[in-house]
Amino acid sequence: MSIETLTSAVRNIPDFPIPGIQFKDITTLFQSPEHLKELSDILYEKYRDRGITKVVGIESRGFFMGPAVAIKLGAGFVPIRKPGKLPYKVIEETYTKEYGDDAIQIHEDALTKEDIVLIHDDLLATGGTMVAAYNLVKKLGVKKIYINFLIELEELEGHMLFPEEVEVSSVLKFKV
C-alpha cells in the first residue's frame, strides 16, 4: 500500500464545521482494516527505535491511533482532554484555535522526568491545539518530546510553531 492510497481514502467534507473549512474526515481510513494496519505500521516503524515510553493523545481524534501505536511501541498511553473530563488533579493550558478560545488538561502525575513522549493527533492545521499540548507535556519536565500527526495541511505551516529541536512529522500531507 502507498501513501497515495491512504491519501485518496481521506474524505473531504466542504464547509464543515463552518463555511470555508475543508474538513479532512479520517474515519474512512479507519473503516478499512488494511488502511488501519498500514497507518499503525508506518507510525511504529517511524518511532520504534526512539525509546518512546508514553504516547500522549489529544481529545478526541488523537485517541484513535494513539493507543494502537502505544501498544505496538510497548509504551503507555496518556490522554489530554478538555476541561472537566479527567478525574484527578490536572494542569491546564488555554489557547486560541481556528474557531475560538479553548483549553486542554492533563493529569499532573501522568508523565515523569524519565519519559520520552510522542504527542499524537489527527491533523495539523494552524497548530494551536498541539502547541498547547506541547506546553502541557513540557511543564511536566519529560526527557524528550516528538510530535506526530496523521495529516498536515502544508500551506498553514503549523509545524513552524515548534522549536527546532522538536521533530514534527505527518503521515499524509494535503494542500489547503
SS (H, E, C) the chain: CCHHHHHHHCEEEECCCCCCCEEEECHHHHHCHHHHHHHHHHHHHHHCCCCCCEEEEECCCHHHHHHHHHHHHCCEEEEEECCCCCCCCEEEEEEEECCEEEEEEEECCCCCCCCEEEEEEEEECCCHHHHHHHHHHHHCCCCEEEEEEEEEEHHHCHHHHCCCCCCEEEEEEECC
Residues labelled as active-site residues: 61, 98
